Amino acid sequence: MNVDSVLDVGYRLAALAGVTLVALLTSAVVEELRRPRDLPPYPGGRRPLPFIGHRLLLPSVKSWITFRKWNEESPIVAFWNGSTPTILIGNGQIAVDLMEKRSQKYSSRPRFVVAGDLLTENRTILFAPYGEQWRGYRRALHLATMNKSVDSYKPIFEAEGKSLAVNLLNDPDDFYQLIYRYTASSVVAVAYGRRVKDTNTDVAYKRLQANLEFLIRINVPGAQWHETIPALKYLPASLNPIKCLALQFRQQGRANAAALVEEVRRKMALGIAPHSFARQMLEQRDKFPYLEDFEFNGTMGSLFGAGVDTTSATLHSLIMAMAVHPEAQRKVHEEMERVVGDARSPGWEDEEDLPYLRAVIIESMRWRPVAILGGTAHASTEDDVYEYGGKSYFIPKGSIILAPLWSIHMDPTVYGNPDAFIPERFLDGRAYPGAAQHNHSSFGWGRRVCPGAYFAERSLYLTSARLLWGFKFIATELIDTSMETGYTDGFNCRPRPFRCRIEPRNDEVRQTILREGAEAAEYLAPFEVSLDEPVKV
C-alpha cells in the first residue's frame, strides 16, 4: 500500500470519527433539550450527563443511604438513570398523595431489564405492568392472602412458632439461623403443605432461596448497567454474565416450582396432602384458565419471595432491638405477665390486650425497615403535575417512582428523634401524616400494596408475641445496630449475624414451651410425610 493510499484511509477514518462525534454531540443536545425543565430538583443541583444521566452518582451498594441524604435536601428529588427519570420520594405524605390518592396514574411498573425482561419475562405479580394480566395474578394470589384463607392457616403459624420456641431452648446460640428456618418452614408449609426441617439439606428450599437471593441482589437502582443501557440485554449470554445468570435462574426457578406443585398433586391423589395454598389452587385450577402452567406454579412460589426474607429479617431486628433496649423489653414482659401469664403462650385473641407489644412491633418495622427501598418501584402512566412547598413539579409519563423507607421512616418532621427506638410513639393513637397503614409504610402504597400484608401481620404478631412472652434477650457484647455497618445490602436488608444470650423468662414458661412444642410436633407430622418416589427438582 503506497503513502497516498495510507493517507486516504486515514482521512476516511478521521472523517468517520468526526461524523460520529457530531452525531453524538447532536444526540446529546437533543436529549438535553427534551428533558423537562420543571422537574423536582436534581441531587445537589447537578444536571444529568448525556446518555447516562446521574448514573455515576448512584452508589453500587446501599443506595438508600445516599437517597436519604438527597431527601434531606429535598423531600422530592429527580434523577436520571440513562434516559429514564426517577422521582425519589422521601416524605410519606407525598408517597400517599401520588401512589394512593392518584393511584390510577402511579400503579404500573417501570421496565426492569434483568429482573423483569430476563429473569421473569414480567410474568409475575411483582413485575407485571398494571393491567388485566396483573389483575389476574392478584386474583390467584388472593386465594391465599384474603383474611379468611390466612385465618385457616393459623394452626400452621402457631405450631411452627411453638416448634421454634423449643429449638431456641435447645440451641439458643443458633437463634439467627433457627429464625430463618422457622420463617422458611412456615411459608413453605402454607404454600405447599411441607416443612423445611433443615435448610442445609432441603434441595427445593435451597433453590427457592437461591432465586430469592439473586433477585434481592439485582433489583436495586444502579446495580446493573442494563437498566441504564437496556440494549445490553441483546448481547449474547456468552458475553453477558448477568444475562446468563438470569436465564439460568429463570429455568431453575420454574422447574423447582413445577416439581413442588407436582408433589402436592401426587399427595392429593394419595389422600395425604395437608391443607395448603397449592392444594387450594389445584382444587380450583379451572378458575384460572388464563394462567399458563409456569405462571400457575409461580403463584405459590411468590409467597416464599414475599414472606421469608422480610419476616425473618424483621424478627432479627426485633430481637436486636430488645437486646439493646432492655427497658422496652421489660415493659413487654410486664404486659405479658399481666395479660397472658406463664401457663400458656399468647394467641391471636390476646392482641387487643397487648398494646405495648404492638407498639414494639410497629416501631421495629419503622426503625429498621426490611424493604429499605420501599419495595419495587412504581411507574407513572400519565403526565402529572404535583404541587409541594409552594412549587409545581412536572412528573412525566414513564417516570420511575421510588419511595425509600430509609428516607420516609427517618423523616424528623414526622417521627421525632427518628433514629431512636421509641415504642411509646405508637401508644397514644396518633395518626402519623403520610403513613400508609398502621403508622408505617412497610407494605407499600395504593394498588400495588403488598397483597400479603394481612398474612405477614398475622405471622409476625404471633411469632413476636411468642418470642417476647417466652424469652429474655440479653446483649453480651456491643451489637452493631447501624444501618451503614450492621446491616446487609440489597433490595431487602437484614441485621448481620450478631450474638446475644437467650434464656426462658422463668421455669414455668420453659415447661409450657416444652409441653406446647410436643403438641405442635404431633400437628406438624403430616407436613413431614415424604413420598416413596421423591419428586426430582
Binding positions are 450
Closest CA to 155 of 531, 519, 529: 519
Query: What cell numbers appear for 118 in the block?
Result: 430476563
The rounded Cα 473 to chain-centroid distance in angstroms is 26
**Cβ contacts of 519 within 8 Å, gap of 6 or more:** 159, 162
Q: What's at 65, amino acid-wise?
A: I
Binding positions for heme are 450
DSSP states along 442-473: TT--GGGS-TTHHHHHHHHHHHHHHHHHHEEE
Residue 105 and residue 99 in contact, taking contact as beta carbons nearer than 8 Å? no
Closest CA to 112 of 432, 523, 367, 402: 402
Closest CA to 182 of 193, 167, 169: 167
d(CA 202, CA 179): 16
Length of the chain: 537
d(CA 329, CA 320): 11
Q: In this structure, what is the dihedral angle of CA atoms 180, 64, 68, 358, given to the nearest 10 degrees?
A: -20
Residue 260 and residue 278 in contact, taking contact as beta carbons nearer than 8 Å? yes
Query: What cell numbers appear for 209 in the block?
Result: 432461596
Residue 168 and residue 471 in contact, taking contact as beta carbons nearer than 8 Å? yes
Residue 82 and residue 227 in contact, taking contact as beta carbons nearer than 8 Å? yes
Q: Collapse the DSSP code of 437 into the 3-class scheme (helix H, G, I; strand E, B; otherwise coil) and give the result.
A: strand
d(CA 450, CA 32): 37
Closest CA to 231 of 363, 98, 124, 83: 83
